[in-house]
Structure 1
Amino acid sequence: MTLGGLDTTIVPAGVTVRLSAFWHHDGMHTRGRQSVTAGGDIGVAVTGDHNQLLLAPAVRSAYWEQVHRIAPLELVDRADELSDLADFCTADSGPAYTWWRAGAWAGKTALMAWFALHPPPGVRIVPFFVTARLGAQNDATAYVDVVLEQLAEIAGEGLPAYLTQSTRDAHLLRLYGEATRACAARGERLVLLVDGLDEDRGVTTRSGTHSIAGLLPARTEAGMRVMVAGRLNPPLPVDVPDDHPLRDPGIVRLLRQSPHAQAIRAEAEKELKQLIEDGGLEYDLLALVTAAGGGLTAEDLAELTRAVPYRVRDVLRTRAGRTFAVRVDDVYLLGHEELQAQAEDMLSAAELSRYRQKLYAWADEWAARGWPDGTPHYLLRGYFRMLWADGDLDRMLRCALDEARHDRMLLLTGGDVAAVNEVRATEELLAERETASLLDALRLAVHRDRLGDRNAGLPEALPATWAAMGGASRALALARSLPDAYRRGMELASIAEELLDRGDDHGQALEVCAEAEDCAARCDERTLGDVVRLRVSLTLLKAGQYERAAGLARDAVGSGEASRLYAAAVAACMADGRREQAEQLVRDAPDEACGGRALAAVVSALVEDGLLEEAERVARTAPRPVRCRSLVVAAVARARSGDRRRADALMEQAKRLTRTGGRRIDVVQALVLSGDMVRAQVVGEAINVRVMRDKAREIVALRLVRDGDHDRAEARLVSLSEEGFAAVSRNLAEALARQGEFDRAEELARGIPEDEQRVDAVCQIVGCMAEAGSQDRAAEVARSLNGAEAQARALVQLAAGLSRAGRSPAAEKLLLEIESSTRVPSAPLAAQKLSQAAVALCEAGAGETARRLVDGIEDLFPPTRMTALTAEAAALRHAVTALACVREVERAQSLLARHAPPEETAELRVALIRRCAAVGEVESARRLVRASALPDRGDSPERIAFVRGLTDGGRWSPALAEARGLSDLNSEYRELSRIAWGLYKAGQHDRARAVINEVLQRTRRLWTFNDANDIFLLKTLSAVGRRDAVMELTVRSRVMARYRSRRPQNQKVNHEAQLMVALGDFDAAVAHTELLSDPHERARIQEEITTALADAGTLDRAEHLAQSIGVPSSAARACVHVALVTTDAGQARRMTTVALRAGGWAPALPGLLKLAPEAVPLVVETAEAMRAACLPGHQVATAARTSAPSAS
């Protein structure tokens, strides 16, 4: 059935373009991806001799790789226990904790690891295995690291870049609840699984730290469960409270001994002693596996021991078959935690160090060879974990900064996630070493950015195309390597859809949807996060997850598409026979728009089911905004049934509601939905409002395309608005291409005026051409597009078409070449970082060096005008600022004129004026203000920006003169307040008081007030000790806040928090931030509080708060501010290191250059390398020429 008569909704500028990638103007799914067949996992075919890395199931947290290593290949005779564990996890009631106990070698870990990898449906496991066999995972610090990462992923939160032990513990305890609630919202249950609780070595080896048991939640919520496994009758650590569930004997379950495990134990302990006593090859193998922490293959051990591989395998399989255990990828580790501990004790620290030296030398040999094809997997995975467990910072740095090694890892896995994790682990250890080099921290940040940047240029739909061809592992690796959360989430949602289309693992598809949903919370802007939520919602509808899809639409309320998708969920429920669920969703609708459209979907469903009486009753009682549409749907149904009288009566009721163009659009949409095209056209042409009439024509034309009436649709193009022309032409071109009418399709596509829609249409045509066997022509059309990015997108569709035509090898080859040619830094992203670096250098007094960095920056932007809310537009803002800083004002103006999105031109010009005035280009700023002046505009944004720029630059007298010359009292009041605060911060307290008195006089003449005005004035009044005025202004500000009581709750809390900051009541301000539901809004206020604390000299508290900010960009700015304000060199170093980790190298430069001016050459070297690495315009075209297979 049709999903609820979904109609056209106008969404914010810029977002429409993104939504158009998956959503039709008339509610149709535009991409129309077709099923693609290819045998096996395509990723395996392209990784040389080491393709087994791509065979592992796709999982999110890197820790799951270790779980796979721990788990047995087969679990013997544990069906009853697995059933009991599943019952505990899914029970509606009962205790939240269970503690399975048994002696050593009972098979506890094997059972728990197997269950973690095979949970019941709807259960989300967060595992931690206390073990020394794999990287010293045996204390509370390791527990917090591993579990924090997993909980943050589930909750959709970013972790602060640097956390002290106390703040880590606090974040962990908070995230238990956040992750549990996130799971519950998705219809899942969170289960925390901890195995080996009694083996926690941190309790006795580290003073002042928690035990793992002490960090387990004392209270659970939203159905959370905790599963613990360990030895018989272990003493609980002293930091476990008396009322903790772990002290309840009722939760204990005894695990029966596994006869299989016991038999292995006796033999293994006997073999271990024999191996050490006998010496020789057996001894070497034992020492190497023990020192390495597992992960070596038989071939690796043969190379290390210079032994014959056959003999090594024979020893591992027979003479020591009980001591060693084999895991996935044929890697070996000691068979039990007890054996690891015994072997370490029996071999001694000195002997283990001697064998680690062998591993170091082995790694050095492969590094000297440039990590070629054939590099042992251990050196690319387990080796670094061993270094991390040993705290070997020097060797970790070598690995983490080795580009060739990370390139090899990329070829093996298809992504850079593992490489980025290595860099982050090294950054973390470096931050703990007070004497570590800041230049090393900068090098790590630069390399981490480089790893992310080289994936930013991967074209849209590349990961999903791999998934459609059967390469899910490679697809996921590519998507997870994308640095931008928005793109990552969109690609993951597309991959999940492809998994569903192929009939692959349904559970994996839902897991990927959850991962995409997590990305929505990490987007830089709420608007982009909502687009991701809506994209995931579409995929969930296809998966039959109606309530979860509706929940995401509910979360995105405020976005133009939210109510449309909410209605789609209701319609899907009705189509699936779940009427009660649909009606419940209608009752639970978050706002009138969602509820109304949902009810309209119910009416449509009832009509299609032939329940006309009920449909009519529901239509008559529908809320007014959707009643008209519902009545029309019911009227058309009555007419088709032959009941003309009832039909006319219903239509008459609908007409009475059509007093505005908006209501008549509802009628048009309903008639189109019902298939009554003649009447829809008549009603549409009768609309008086031009915009609405144009929209009606567009709706009718799109339906004609959908119905296959292409000639009539094309004939209507001349009557459409520019927006409608683009939408209909695009859909018509794609429909014609699917029918093989390529000439006509291409001509239509070339005539689309809007760049994004034109490129989308051409890309789809290219795919259809390739599928039809016209590969050479498809490649020629792809090359004809302007810009490397557009060409790459078209080539991806060419590959998809080849695959659909049964030419999978050619498709795979083309996709790999596209990857290779586009895996370079994004030019606009490079421009943004170069600009940020130039600004920092200018502010540090290195103006000439800054000028060098922006030399030729214009060449890094695409030749066409940009679209708003894109990476290119963000980069343009930074470039304009940088050019103003180096006093290249004409170049900045020229850049704006050529590239600025029309809707952002004015805003960018305002930013340019402000920066020019701040850096001393006062006359240039004045000229820009005069050039933008319009009659009757009053105090224009450009003039306000000029005043603020003078204030930013400390040019107090001209700033005061300009502010006093403003015609609007509110504007004058606002700018004088800012100047007063600036004077106070600059130490000119008497002058600040004078301006304050002047401002207070102005306030008596105002009828309206602005919150921001009050905040700046309050800051200054509080600073100069005017308590009387502070109290009066505070009362007035709160009165105005109540007057605006209809504002969203977040805005009210935001205002109160800002008020508390201005008054210096930082405790209250921090408390208010916890009430903010939007993480970006919360981070922004926390940044303001941090800045205020630092300016007030409360630097330790400012440091603590900066480290707890969850949005990386806000955390970086806050840390940089503290680093610049503090006189404590150690604190400045800590804050700069955190900023490097949180926001990347460019935003952290102000703090870094203050502490380490010797970093300038490295900055310049980095900037020039980035510029040189940007994608040349001919590379993708070259890929098309060399890769497109001939038709012959």
Structure 2
Amino acid sequence: MTPEYLLNGYTRLLAELGDLPRLVTLVADITRQDRLLGITGADTAALTDIATAFSVLVAQPPPDLLAALRLSWHRDRLADRNADIPTNLPAVWVALGQPDRAEALAQSITGRDARAKALTGLVAAVASVGDHGRANALAAQAEQIARSIASPSSRATALTDLAGAVSASDHNRAQDMAAEAEQIAHSGADSLFGPSRLINLATAATAVGDHDRAERLALQAEHLAFSSARDPEQQARELTSLVTVFSAAGDRDKAMALASQAEQAAGSIINADERTQALKGLATAVTAAGDHERAAEIARSLADQEAQAQALTDLATAIAAAGDLNRANALAIEAEQTIRSITSEDRKVPAPTEVATALAVIGDHDRAEKIARSVTDSYWRAAALTDVAKAVATSGDIKRAEKIARAVAGSSRRAKALTDLVAAVTAAGDHERATALAAQAEQTAQSIADSLSQAKALTYLAAVVEPGRARRLIAEALAVGHWTTPLEHIARIDPTTIRTFFDQFVTSWVPLS
């Protein structure tokens, strides 16, 4: 059995001493991790200890990659067994008279959105048994986590949920949080969402029973969707979401009127794939609203047979749940026949992207950049701009290449564009400029909110920088992302570490011979 002193305080002592070998051995002890789980009912303490060890490791140059891999492997093992914890389970433990276990379990949930939701559920549960002091403390924790959520719409939703949970005990605080959530939804920090923020907020308000606020927000979203010259794909998506909101609120007439407008907007989308996705989403919303005839008509109008089959399958599922098995059976057969008739090849890269890349390679940078910026799909636009930036850098116009790379939308894609630029500039022999660009790429990568995406970006950058910097980037990637993400790059720069790690951890569950 693990001695008591190894469970409390010893981690902090080793961290203060900077004794990384003993610290890693301690926090990576599975028996100790399981005993902490048994004592507290959650993995929060073990995960906190691993985070403490990582902070010591990253601060000690050069980073010990074997130790980083061990820590990452253990953290991911613990995270995996907490990933599927239902967000309402902690509240169940409160009802069973174990509030400490409930709180520890909620804190062990790794995703911020899910952890905020679990803590919000605990607020109501703890308040219901009369422990208002604990409820207030949990509400403060939930509020802090909610405010740290990167996505504006998710942050607004979390605050709205929490407002509903505290409304009975602190009405003024609830109103303040609801007002803040609404202000977030109206803010212009991320114009990509537009009225979608209001729609998400209306949905959350409906879920907590604030029907007046939900209706006001939905009507505001509808007004915004029509009040400006909006992209048809975006407008169709927003109107489809409003179909769901008004249907959930019981206003089916309003929902079906919006469905007609959404279908009209979707029909005007030029890009065939985007048009298909918009109509497929509308069919799903109309199915949920209960107008199965209309949903079937929309499904059959889809030119993409795979999407048509999926829409018919979703409709068949909904109708079966409603009890009309004969109709559901007919739709299922129709879906099966549709899917069997598909003979077309998979979709290819959009032509404008290939054209932009080709023009950049042959030196027509003006036309290449213009075409790249005109690509409507954000993913392929980023890919085209990245290719153009690399070609421009190779030609020697580094300043223009940097400008194009910085124009790539989204932190993950921009980090990749800058990293590709680092490689191109390094190949051209301008190492000073490459170092500066690497710093920009690293800063951009570290700003990525999603931990897995951040780890991938840091690993991608590690492949094009000097070895010392690469080791630090890999250690940072292991600290935030899955342990498998940088394995291939570690194998290239430090094969001994990989062999040792495999011998110690992998052979027990992956045969290597």
TM-score (norm 1): 0.29
| Counterpart for residue 202 of structure 2 | 563
Cα separation, 2, equivalents of 1:395 and 1:533? 41
CA contact 1:420–1:448 (8 Å) conserved in 2: yes
Match of 2:75 in 1: 448
1:1140 to 464, 478, 484: 478
Aligned ranges 1:1095-1106 → 2 under 5 Å: 1095-1097=424-426, 1098-1099=434-435, 1101-1103=437-439, 1105-1106=441-442
The residue number in structure 2 matching 1:202 is none
CA shift in 2, pair 1:541/1:1164, >3 Å:
farther
2:107–2:115 contact (8 Å) kept in structure 1: yes
1:517/1:723 Cα in 2 relative to 1: closer, same or farther (>3 Å)? farther
Q: Give the C-alpha shift of residue 465 in structure 1.
A: 0.6
2:17 counterpart residue number: 390
- For 2:20 and 2:124, locate their aligned partners in 1 and report how far apart those are by CA, in whole Å: 43
What does 1:918-997 align with in structure 2 at a 5 Å threshold? Answer: 932-933=343-344, 942-945=346-349, 971-978=350-357, 992-993=361-362, 996=364
Contact 2:157 2:181 in 1 (8 A): no
Separation of aligned partners in 1, 2:139 and 2:399: 39
Counterpart code for 1:944: K
Q: Which amino acid aligns with 1:512?
A: L
2:108 aligned with 1:470, yes or no? no
CA distance in 1, matches of 2:90, 2:75: 21
The one-letter code matched in structure 1 to 2:289 is K
Q: Deviations over 1:852-871 (max 9, x none)?
A: xxxxxxxxxxxxxxxxxxxx
Shift of 1:1082: 4.1
**8 Å contact kept, 2:54–2:68:** yes
Matching residue's letter, 1:490: K
Match of 2:289 in 1: 695
Match of 1:430 in 2: 57
Would the aligned equivalents of 2:418 and 2:440 in 1 still touch at CA under 8 Å? no
Cα offset for 1:490? Answer: 2.7
**Amino acid in structure 2 at the alignment position of 1:1153:** A
Query: C-alpha distance in 1, partners of 2:463/2:153?
Result: 32
Q: Are residues 444 and 722 of structure 1, via their aligned partners in 2, closer, same or farther at CA, if it must alter by over 3 Å? A: closer
How far did residue 466 of structure 1 move?
0.2
Q: 2:33 aligns with which of 401, 406, 415?
A: 406
Q: Which residue of 2 aligns with 1:662?
A: 257
Shift of 1:527: 7.1
Cα distance in structure 2, aligned partners of 1:1020 and 1:692: 45
Residues 508-558 of structure 1: CA deviation (Å, up to 9, x unaligned): 434434544555577797776666555435424455313413533664661
AA matched with 2:471 = R
| Unaligned ranges ≥5, structure 2 | 186-194, 225-241, 261-282, 293-314, 329-334, 427-433
Structure-2 change in CA distance of 1:591 and 1:1135 (3 Å)? farther
Q: 1:546 aligns with which of 171, 175, 185?
A: 175
Q: Secondary structure at the match of 2:196?
A: coil
Seen in structure 2, the aligned counterparts of structure 1 residues 1153 and 1002 have a Cα distance that, compared at 3 Å, is closer
- 3-state SS of the aligned residue for 1:434? coil
Cα deviations by residue, 1:908-948 (Å, 9 ceiling, x for unpaired):
xxxxxxxxxxxxxxxxxxxxxx9751xxxxxx7x2415xxx
AA matched with 2:257: G
Higher-RCO chain (CA-CA 8 Å, sequence separation at least 6): 1
| 2:20–2:53 Cα contact (<8 Å) kept | yes
Counterpart AA for 1:551: E
- Pair 1:430–1:1125, CA change in 2 (3 A): same
Q: Does 1:1123 align with 2:492?
A: no
- 2:414 counterpart residue number: 1085
Distance 1:567 1:1119, change over 3 A: closer
Question: Which whole-Å CA distance do the structure 1 matches of 2:254 and 2:51 have between them?
Answer: 61
Q: Which amino acid aligns with 2:392?
A: S
Distance 1:592 1:1164, change over 3 A: farther
Distance 2:149 2:484 in 1: 20
Question: Quick check: 2:356–2:368 contact (8 Å CA) kept in 1?
Answer: no
CA deviation after TM superposition for structure 1 residue 1119, in Å: 1.9
- The C-alpha deviation readout for 1:1129-1159, integer Å capped at 9, x for no partner, is 2122111111111213111213211222231
Separation of aligned partners in 1, 2:284 and 2:62: 70
- Give yes or no for the alignment of 1:1156 onto 2:494: yes
Find the aligned partners of 1:693 and 1:432 in 2 and give their Cα distance: 55
Residue type of the partner of 1:1063? A
Identical-residue share of aligned pairs (%): 23
Residue 978 and residue 473 in structure 1: after superposition, are their counterparts in 2 closer, same or farther (change >3 A)?
farther
Instruction: Decide whether aligned partners of structure 1 residues 943 and 432 sit closer, same or farther in structure 2, where only a CA change above 3 A counts.
Output: same
Q: Contact conserved, 2:442 with 2:458, CA < 8 A, in 1?
A: yes
**Cα separation, 2, equivalents of 1:691 and 1:430:** 49
1:661 CA drift (Å):
4.1
Counterpart position of 1:1064:
402
* Aligned residue runs from structure 1 range 837-848, under 5 A: none
CA distance in 2, matches of 1:1103, 1:471: 49
After superposition, residues 152-163 of structure 1 pair within 5 angstroms as none
What is the CA distance between 1:384 and its match in structure 2?
A: 1.9
C-alpha contact 1:1086 1:1105 (8 A) present in aligned 2: yes
Task: Report the Cα distance in structure 2 between the residues aligned to 1:1086 and 1:659, rounded to whole angstroms.
Answer: 44
Q: Which residue of 1 aligns with 2:389?
A: 1019
Hey, what's the Cα distance between the residues in 1 that align with 2:481 and 2:11? Answer: 24
Go from structure 1 to structure 2 and tell me whether the alpha carbon gap of 1:693 and 1:1022 turns closer, same or farther (over 3 Å shift). Answer: closer
CA distance in 1, matches of 2:85, 2:107: 12
Structure-2 change in CA distance of 1:1024 and 1:1123 (3 Å): closer
- Of residues 99, 124, 128 in structure 2, which corresponds to 1:501? 128
Larger radius of gyration: 1
Q: Secondary structure at the match of 1:1065?
A: helix
Contact 1:1119 1:1139 in 2 (8 A): yes
**Displacement after TM superposition at 1:570 (Å):** 9.6
SS of 2:162's equivalent in the other structure is helix
Decide which structure has greater helix share: 2
Amino acid of the structure 1 residue aligned with 2:220:
E
Q: Does the CA-based 8 Å contact 1:484-1:523 persist in structure 2? A: no
Post-superposition shift, 1:418?
2.1
Cα deviation, 1:800-828, whole Å, max 9, x if unaligned, reads xxxxxxxxxxxxxxxxxxxxxxxxxxxxx
Distance 1:538 1:1118, change over 3 A: same
SS at match of 1:1125: coil
For residues 1024-1035 of structure 1, the aligned pairs below 5 Å read: 1024-1025=394-395
Q: Is residue 439 of structure 1 aligned with residue 61 of structure 2?
A: no
**Counterpart in 1 of 2:108?**
481
Contact in 1 for aligned 2:72/2:483 (Cα 8 Å): yes
Q: Distance in 1 between matches of 2:42 and 2:94?
A: 14
Pairs aligned (count): 405
Q: Determine helix, strand or coil for the equivalent of 1:410.
A: helix
Please list every run of 5 or more consecutive structure 1 residues that lacks an aligned counterpart in the other structure: 1-369, 575-581, 597-624, 634-653, 666-688, 699-719, 730-747, 754-901, 907-929, 934-939, 946-970, 982-991, 1028-1059, 1173-1192
Give the structure 2 partner of residue 1030 of structure 1.
none
What is the rounded CA distance, in whole Å, between the counterparts of 2:64 and 2:6 in structure 1? Answer: 26
Query: Is 1:592 aligned to 2:220, yes or no?
Result: yes
CA distance in 2, matches of 1:449, 1:551: 35
Tell me if 1:512 matches 2:138. Answer: yes
Q: Is the 8 A contact 2:441 2:461 kept in 1?
A: no
Q: Does the CA contact (< 8 Å) of 2:14 and 2:22 recur in 1?
A: yes
Alignment partner of 1:1146: what SS? coil
